[in-house]
Amino acid sequence: MAFSGEGKVWMNGELVDWADARIHIASHVVHYGSAVFEGARCYATPKGSACFRLDAHVRRLVDSARIYRLDYRFGQADLRRAILETIRANQLKACYIRPIIYRGYATLGINPLPCPVDGAVLVWEWDAYLGAEAAEKGVDVRVSSWTRVAPNTFPALAKTSANYASSQLIKMEAVLDGFSEGIALDTAGYLSEGSGQNLFLVRDRTLYTPAVSASILPGITRDSVVTLAREAGYRVREEMLPREMLYTADEAFLVGTAVEIAPLRSVDRIPVGDGKPGPVTREIQRAFFGVIRGEMPDRHGWLTYVYDEEASLREPAPAPLTSEGR
């Protein structure tokens, strides 16, 4: 969806008009991709607007900033409050949330340290990332010719703008070839992830997902799916997965904040299972959408209600994501 061009953006502690949320063309981030960011969602529920796993998203943003030595003067609690404040200021019942921390305007050169560290929070209305029918009918994907980064090149555990140059190549290749998404392999030829989603395969009612060592971003939705699947009695295995498992899986699906849970209908034009979303995928979808829509009990405290003043003042949860935890 195109931006409306209206509303408010939080920038370094102040709410400014959307049209005035600008940076200089000589800002370091424009030339070198020196930024970390997050993607989260706020959902309309029967109890009001609620952000899904807000604390986990803000914690990962702060962790990413630490890896890249982005010493921002606003901490985890400040950013949490800023997100809730921005949603309220825009009077949105449901929205996508994009906080970003970046190197600003001072000088240009590879060394980013002389440049100031700035931040912003954007919110906007955004529907299903892969289309309205993706969750119901599934999507067609291909294995990308682009591999994910090798260990000790870019930090895959950080959600940084620079890493998404690779994602753009994967996405464009897939779309131009008539697919919805691309699945990247790691440098050893094992399954990694989509352009911006984690991958799950189902074989004999066991769920498989690539290990963190396969250059994946350990997604927050991924962690949620692992939790929900185990609660439903399924075995979940996190390990290195060969490419051919894509073609022999009974079911497969992508997960992430933007895509939510999207079944795979085919891979490289080979049907996944019978070419329709399978029963395990459907059960996981029902559990996930039930929580985020406020239709099922929030047993894990994943929802933060935007207009709940106590929730707004509450300090963010200190616990980091586990290795099993986009």
Task: Please tell me whether residues 161 and 266 are part of one structural domain.
Answer: yes
Max CA pair span of the chain? 57
Residue 157: strand pairing partners: none
* Residue 129 pLDDT class (50, 70, 90 cuts): confident
pLDDT confidence of residue 312: 54
* Residue 317 pLDDT class (50, 70, 90 cuts): low
In the predicted model, what is the mean pLDDT of the chain?
94
Across the range 142-159, mean pLDDT stands at 94
Place of tokens 């034009």: 269
Percent above pLDDT 90 for the chain: 89
pLDDT confidence of residue 300: 96
Task: Please tell me whether residues 151 and 213 are part of one structural domain.
Answer: yes
> Is residue 323 included in any domain, yes or no?
no
Query: pLDDT at residue 60 above 90?
Result: yes
Across the range 153-169, mean pLDDT stands at 95
Token duo for residue 105: 């305007």
* Residue 130 pLDDT class (50, 70, 90 cuts): confident
Percent above pLDDT 70 for the chain: 94
pLDDT confidence of residue 323: 36
Task: Please tell me whether residues 24 and 121 are part of one structural domain.
Answer: yes
* Residue 131 pLDDT class (50, 70, 90 cuts): confident
Task: Please tell me whether residues 226 and 120 are part of one structural domain.
Answer: no
pLDDT confidence of residue 315: 62
In the residue annotation, 137 being an active-site residue is answered as: no
Bigger pLDDT: 4 or 209? 209
Q: What is the CATH number of the domain that holds 242?
A: 3.20.10.10
The total of structural domains in the chain comes to: 2
* Residue 184 pLDDT class (50, 70, 90 cuts): very high
Lowest mean pLDDT among 14-23, 92-101, 104-113, 120-129: 120-129
Across the range 149-168, mean pLDDT stands at 94
> Is residue 112 included in any domain, yes or no?
yes
CA–CA separation, 196 and 326 (whole Å): 7
Strands 191-194 and 181-185, bridge-based pairing: antiparallel
> Is residue 320 included in any domain, yes or no?
no
> Is residue 319 included in any domain, yes or no?
no
Task: Please tell me whether residues 140 and 122 are part of one structural domain.
Answer: no
Task: Please tell me whether residues 92 and 138 are part of one structural domain.
Answer: no
Task: Please tell me whether residues 32 and 122 are part of one structural domain.
Answer: yes
Q: What is the CATH number of the domain that holds 118?
A: 3.30.470.10
* Residue 68 pLDDT class (50, 70, 90 cuts): very high
**DSSP secondary structure code for residue 147 in this structure:** P
Lowest mean pLDDT among 75-79, 292-296, 312-316: 312-316
Task: Give residues with Cβ within 8 angstroms of 224, minimum separation 6.
Answer: 53, 288, 302
Across the range 209-224, mean pLDDT stands at 96
Domain that holds residue 259: 134-292
Across the range 78-104, mean pLDDT stands at 97
Task: Please tell me whether residues 86 and 180 are part of one structural domain.
Answer: no
Task: Please tell me whether residues 82 and 25 are part of one structural domain.
Answer: yes
Q: Spot the catalytic one: 8, 137, 159, 276.
A: 159
Task: Please tell me whether residues 179 and 46 are part of one structural domain.
Answer: no
Q: 50, 311 in Cβ contact below 8 A?
A: no
Place of tokens 């985890």: 76
pLDDT tens for residues 13-39? Answer: 999 999 999 999 999 999 999 999 999
> Is residue 199 included in any domain, yes or no?
yes
Task: Please tell me whether residues 151 and 284 are part of one structural domain.
Answer: yes
Q: 83, 40 in Cβ contact below 8 A?
A: yes
Place of tokens 């999207």: 262
Task: Please tell me whether residues 172 and 121 are part of one structural domain.
Answer: no
Across the range 74-101, mean pLDDT stands at 97
> Is residue 262 included in any domain, yes or no?
yes
> Is residue 70 included in any domain, yes or no?
yes
> Is residue 38 included in any domain, yes or no?
yes
Query: pLDDT at residue 309 above 80?
Result: no
**DSSP secondary structure code for residue 214 in this structure:** G
- pTM for this entry: 0.92
Q: 117, 11 in Cβ contact below 8 A?
A: no
